[in-house]
Structure 1
């Protein structure tokens, strides 16, 4: 199993709006495809930069091929929507991880 993680750096003052958007729009939209499952949002406590908070959004995914298809079909559009809503106040970077145990 793989974990698809996106770490978001959220500008101070945007945290509530970001979390509402992630919970009420992003996660439900991702769930429609069935490709990614078990969403989890966590606050990153290390690597804090002044003026921002970091969050990690994680999903389980069966394979890198499934993730690639999801990104082409849905992920790129959702990223565009994130930029449209938050502009440069939220920046994200993805990481693909493999569960060992």
Structure 2
């Protein structure tokens, strides 16, 4: 199992609109690709020197092949939407995480 993590710092001037767009449009569109089983959105509780508000969105996928299919078939279009609606208002970086162990009490 892999987690595709997107960390985003969003400018406070568009924060509320962006947060609504993420929850009602972007994350559902990511899940609609069929390549992720679920998504978790978290707020990073550290104040950034550059300002803004930082979030981490974690999309869970079953394997590398599925994640590569997302990159090939969907990533460009979905990333472009964010730029279209919120140009020059955010910084994003992406990481891939491999789940080694998950424990549930």
Q: Report if the CA contact (8 A) 2:31-2:38 is conserved.
A: no
Alpha-carbon shift at residue 57 of structure 1 (Å)? 0.6
Higher helix share: 1
**For residue 65 of structure 1, what is the aligned residue in structure 2?**
65
- TM-score where L is the length of structure 2: 0.88
Q: Where does the alignment leave 5 or more consecutive residues of structure 1 unmatched? A: none
- CA distances 1:4-43 after superposition (whole Å, capped 9, x unpaired): 1000010122221111111111111112121112111100
Aligned residues: 101
Q: Which runs of 4+ in 1 moved over 6 A?
A: none
Partner of 1:6: 6
2:35 maps to what in 1?
A: 35
Instruction: Report the CA distance between 1:50 and its aligned residue.
Output: 4.2
Contact 2:3 2:99 survives alignment (8 Å) = yes
Structure (1 or 2) with the greater strand fraction: 1
Match of 1:21 in 2: 21
Q: CA-atom RMSD, angstroms?
A: 1.3
CA deviations over 1:45-64 (Å, ceiling 9, x no partner): 13623421100011101112
